[in-house]
Amino acid sequence: MTYRIGSGQGYYGDDVTRALPMILGEHVDVVCFEALAELTLAILQKDKLKDPSRGYTFDIAIIASKILPEAYKRKIPLITNGGGLNPLGAAQVIYETAQKLGLKGLKIAAVTGDDVRDRLEALINAGEKMGHLETGEPLDPTSHMLANANVYMGAKPIVDALNAGADIIITGRIADPCLYLAPLIAHYDWAWDDWDKLASGIVAGHLLECTAQVVGGNSLGVIDTIDAAHLSQLGYPIAQVESDGSFVLTKTPDTHGIVNLRTVKEQLLYEVHDPANYITPDVITNFTTLALQEIAENQVRVSGVTGKPRPDKLKLTLGQMEGYMRELIFTVGYPEAWKKVDQLKAMIESTWDGLPIERVDYSYLGHNSLYGNIAPPNDDPLEIIVRVMFTAKDEKTLKTAVRKMMTHGLSGAAGMSISGTTISAKPRIVLGLFPTLLSREHIQARIQYKVVE
Amino acid sequence: MTKRLYDLAYGRSGDKGNIANISVIARSPEAYQEIKAKLTAERVKTHLDDLVLGDVVRYDLDNIEALNFVCHDALDGGGTRSLRIDPLGKSLAGALLYMVWDD
C-alpha cells in the first residue's frame, strides 16, 4: 500500500474546493494546502494591523466550512500553512466553525514559532549577522517600514502534531515542500537523517505544491493537447508514495487535466535554482539523480532522488513597506504615434516636476512590455499603448499626480485616449523583500491543541 | 519560417526575490545535445540583456534533458516592488524561447 498525499492549494486565493473530489472519493490519506508565496505574509501583515484578530488567509474559512467536515468524516487529516501571521486566530475560526457543524472530537493543532519580528534586536545581540542574502546589506531591525519577519521552519512540528492525532494542522511559515514531507515522515517513521527518503518527499512536495501547474496549468509542454475548456477545472494532483520514498504523481481520478513527463518536468524546475542543491530546512535535495517514467496515462513515476544533510541555517524573509504604486494607461494611434508618445512623456515630466514621485516606468503594451529590446522595431505603428507606472511613499502624492495629469485633457497629444479605469483605480502597496539566514538553534516551534467538544 | 529555440524546447519561468529562473526542456534527445552544446549562459545573458541586469548561471539536468538558467537582478526588484507588467517573470521563458536558432 502506498501513502497518498493530495494537494488542495497552491497560493492564497487558489480554488481550495477542488480538494473535495479527492476526499469524497477517498483517493488520499492526507491533504495539504500551501498558501504562502514570498510576499503573502507581508500582505497579511496589513490585515493584521487593521484588526489584530486577522493575519491569516481567508481560505481558512472555506477549508473549515466546506472541506473539513468531509475530511473529518473520513479521517483524512488536513495540513495548511494558511495560518500566515496568526495561526492561533485561524485555529479559532476553525474551532468555531467545527463547533457549529458539530464535529465533535475534532483535534486542531496550531503551530507557531516562525514569527521573529519582535526578536530581531535580541537575535542581532546574540551574534546573528542577518545580512541580505543577495546584496550583503545589513538589516535595520528598528525600521518602522518593517512589515513582517518569518523564518522558514521544517516539517518537525507538523510530524509531532500528526503523531498526537491532530485532524487539522494550521501553521505559519513552514517551507512549502515540508508541508507535504511531514505526513510522510509521520506515516513511514522515516529517520531525520535518512536524507534520500526525506529528499524524495521534498520532490513530491515540490511537484504538488502548485496544484494545477503540474496538471496542465501554465504549461507550454501540453499547450497543443490540453482542452482549453478544461483549464478552469483542472483536477488537483496526488502523490502515491512508497515507503522507500519513490512515488507516482497523478491527478484526482475523473477530473480534467494532464499529468505526463512534460508537465512533471516543467513543475520540477519551477522556481528552482541549483537543482543539485535544493535547500529546505529538513534536507538538501538533488534533482539531478532522479528518474522519471510515464507508467500509465496521467501517472509519472519518480525514483532515484538523493539528499544531503540539512543546512545549519534557516532562511528568514522580512517584508518591508516601501510605499505605493499606481498605473495609468494611455493609447495613441497613427499618424506620428511615436512622436505623440514623446509628447506624452514630456507632459508627464513637466507636470510631475517637484512632486515626491520616486520611480516612473514607461512600457508599451503589445510592443515591448514583456520582452524589452528583444521585440523587433516598429517605426510607424498603427497604435501604441503606453503604460506609466509610478511610485511614491504616500498615497496622496499619487492621487495628486493623477489629478494634475487630468487637467491637460485638451492640451495633450492629438487623438490620445486614457483608460478611465486606471484613473479611478486604487494604489497598490510596494513591498520589498529582505531575505537572510538565521541559525536554527534560535527557532523553537510551539504546538497548541484544541479539541471540539 | 525562422527557426527558434522554441522549436527545440519548451520551458517555464518563475521568481524568487529579484532572481528569475528559466527552465529549457528539450523536445528530443537530439535537441538536448544541441542546446547543451550551444545554449550557453553567456548567450542567454546577451539575448536577455534588456531584462536581466545581473549574472546568468546555467545548470544541466542530463537526467531529464533540461537546462535551468538562474538569472540574477532580473525582475526590477522582484515581486510587488517591480514596475514591470510581468513582475513575477512568468513570461521570461517565452523571451528566451524566442531566440533565433539558425546555427
Question: pLDDT of A95-136, one tens digit each?
Answer: 999 999 999 999 999 999 999 999 999 999 999 999 999 889
The per-residue pLDDT of chain A, averaged, comes to 96
pLDDT at B30: 98
CA A127 to chain centroid, in Å, comes to 31
Picking from A250, A277, A311, the residue at the C-terminal end of a domain is A311
Contact status, residue B78 vs residue B18, Cβ threshold 8 Å: yes
CB A97 within 8 A of CB A65: yes
Q: Are residues A300 and A349 in the same domain?
A: no
**Residue A49 or residue A235, greater confidence:** A235
d(CA A94, CA A21): 21
Can you read off the three cell numbers belonging to residue A379? 517605426
Complex prediction ipTM: 0.98
**Per-residue DSSP letter, A63:** I
The answer to whether position A127 is within a domain reads: no
The verdict on A260 and A386 lying in the same domain is no
Indicate whether A354 belongs to any domain: yes
Asked if residue A139 lies in contact with residue A159, where contact means CB atoms within 8 angstroms, the answer is no
Nearest-Cα distance to chain A for B99, in Å, is 9
Backbone angles phi, psi at A131, to 5 degrees: -80, 160
Q: Are residues A421 and A344 in the same domain?
A: yes
The rounded radius of gyration (Å) of the Cα atoms in chain A is: 25
Residue A132 lies in a domain: no
Q: Are A84 and A41 in contact (CB under 8 A)?
A: yes
Q: Do A169 and A276 share a structural domain? A: yes
B-chain CB neighbours of A269 within 8 Å are 12, 21, 23, 25, 61, 66, 68
Q: Is the pLDDT reported for residue B103 higher than 80?
A: no
CB contact under 8 A, A370 and B86: yes
Residues A168 and A273 in one domain: yes
Residue B10: list chain A partners with CB under 8 A. Answer: 220-221, 262, 266
pLDDT tens for each residue of A57-105: 999 999 999 999 999 999 999 999 999 999 999 999 999 999 999 999 9
Which pLDDT does position B79 carry in this prediction?
79
Which of A182-186, A294-298, A404-408, B68-72 is predicted with the least confidence, judged by mean pLDDT?
Answer: A404-408
CA–CA distance, A12 with A35 (Å, rounded to integer): 5
Tens-place pLDDT, residues A309-341: 999 999 999 998 899 999 999 999 999 999 999
Distance of residue A96 Cα from the nearest chain B Cα, in angstroms: 34
The B-side interface with A (CB below 8 A) comprises: 10-12, 14-19, 21, 23, 25, 47-51, 59-64, 66, 68, 70, 72, 76-81, 83-86, 90-91, 93-95, 97-98
- Chain A nearest CA to B41, separation (Å): 14
Going by pLDDT thresholds of 50, 70 and 90, the confidence category of residue A370 is very high
Is A134 part of any domain?
no
Q: Are residues A212 and A355 in the same domain?
A: no
Task: Give the C-alpha separation, A36 to A42, whole Å.
Answer: 10
Residue A379: how many CB atoms within 10 A of its CB?
6
Angle between helices A261-268 and A195-208 (to 10 degrees): 110
Q: Do A225 and A262 meet the contact criterion of CB atoms below 8 Å apart?
A: no
Return the number of CB contacts < 8 Å for A and B.
125
Distance CA A183, CA A74 (A): 16
DSSP A226: S
Kindly state whether residues A225 and A307 are assigned to the same domain: yes
Of A371, A387, A389, the CB nearest to B95: A371
- pLDDT over 80 at B80, yes or no: no
Indicate the pTM of the whole model: 0.96
The 3-state DSSP class for residue A370 equals coil
C-alpha span between A103 and A72 (Å, rounded): 8
B79 touches A430 (CB < 8 A): no
Cell 514630456, residue located: A346
Mean pLDDT in residue range A8-15: 97
In a domain, A441, yes or no: no
Same domain, A60 and A207: yes
Per the structure, the count of domains in chain A is 2
The answer to the question of residue A171 being in a domain is yes
CATH of the domain at A366: 3.30.70.600
CB contact under 8 A, A273 and B84: no
Q: Which of residues 424-443 of A touch B (CB under 8 A)?
A: 428-433, 435
Peptide bond into A335 cis (omega under 30): yes
From chain B, the residues in CB contact with A133 under 8 A are 17
pLDDT at A18 over 70: yes
Whether A119 is in a domain gets the answer no
Helix (H) or strand (E) holding A90: helix A87-100
Using an 8 Å CB-CB cutoff, list chain B residues near A433.
Answer: 17, 78-79, 81
Structural domains of chain B, ranges and CATH numbers in brackets? 5-97 (3.30.70)
Q: Based on the domain organization, do A254 and A399 belong to the same domain?
A: no
Test the B interface: residue of A45, A258, A265, A385 with most B CBs within 10 Å: A265
Cα(A383)–Cα(A335) distance, rounded to whole angstroms? 9
Last residue of a domain, one of A278, A295, A311: A311
Do A57 and A104 belong to one domain? yes
Domain that holds residue A416: 318-434
